[in-house]
Homo-oligomer: A and B are copies of this chain.
Amino acid sequence: MTASSTPRLPRKPRRSMADDVRENKREEILAAAEALFFERGYAQTTVADIVAALGVTKPYLYYYFNGKDDIFEQLCWRASVACLTSMHTDAGDARPAGDRLQEGLHRLAVANIRYFRAGTFAYRETGALAAPFQARLRAMARVFHRELRDLLQQARDEGSIECGNLMLTSHAIGSVVGFMYTWYKPGGPIAQDDMADEITRILMNIAGFRQPTPKRRARTGANKDNP
């Protein structure tokens, strides 16, 4: 989290080869557990299921993680962070709010497609999560909705969208990405990039977006080379 160190000093590589191996094994366990938690649910997935899927034993798993709940929290946290920080925009970003909104919604769609499994744990499996962890997730969700509502309001004020109740609009947008897991599975007929664009269009439609900003046909994207 606190990765702000003085540059120009490539000394002391934080990560040895042994660390990489360890990290790979951790990720293998996380990937196997994520698939099972998503399909069967947290409580219906046993630690024996996870280790069987990997062809290892239970003590192997407990060497890399503190327990079943530890694995679940790590999966849930990283996915929730990726999805719920999508609407964050730099304070110095002077572009029209409509552009920033569209870029944020696109990030939101991409994150929810990328983390389509673990991204659902926070709201599907609340009962399986410890109360303090739930509180941290709720706090992050509040920030997400605040940032989204602020962007919607700014975009409405500048006239690039037309929407009614901001809270309901915000929730409707969150619902479309949050409910995607019930019908969308990556690997289907539609490529992930195309699906992200399609979802972004739907989200912009819910926001009441009318035409791509009449003033100047701005081509938004990941263009952050020069300001």
Chain A residues engaging chain B, CB cutoff 8 angstroms: 39-45, 123-128, 164-165, 168-169, 171-172, 174-176, 178-180, 182-184, 198-199, 201-202, 205-206, 208
* 23 pairs, CB–CB < 8 Å, chain A vs chain B: A41-B43, A41-B127, A41-B128, A42-B43, A43-B43, A43-B128, A45-B127, A164-B201, A164-B205, A168-B198, A168-B202, A171-B176, A171-B179, A171-B183, A171-B184, A172-B202, A174-B179, A174-B182, A175-B175, A178-B179, A178-B182, A202-B206, A205-B208
- In Å, the complex CA distance between A86 and B128 comes to 32
Assembly of this chain: how many copies? 2
Give the chain B neighbours of A179 by CB distance below 8 A. Answer: 123, 171, 174-175, 178-179
Residue of B44, B182, B199 near A127 (CB, 8 A) is: B44
CB <8 Å contact, B165 and A198:
yes
Known: A176-B176, A180-B175. A205 touches B202 (CB 8 A): no
Q: Are B206 and A127 in contact (CB under 8 A)?
A: no
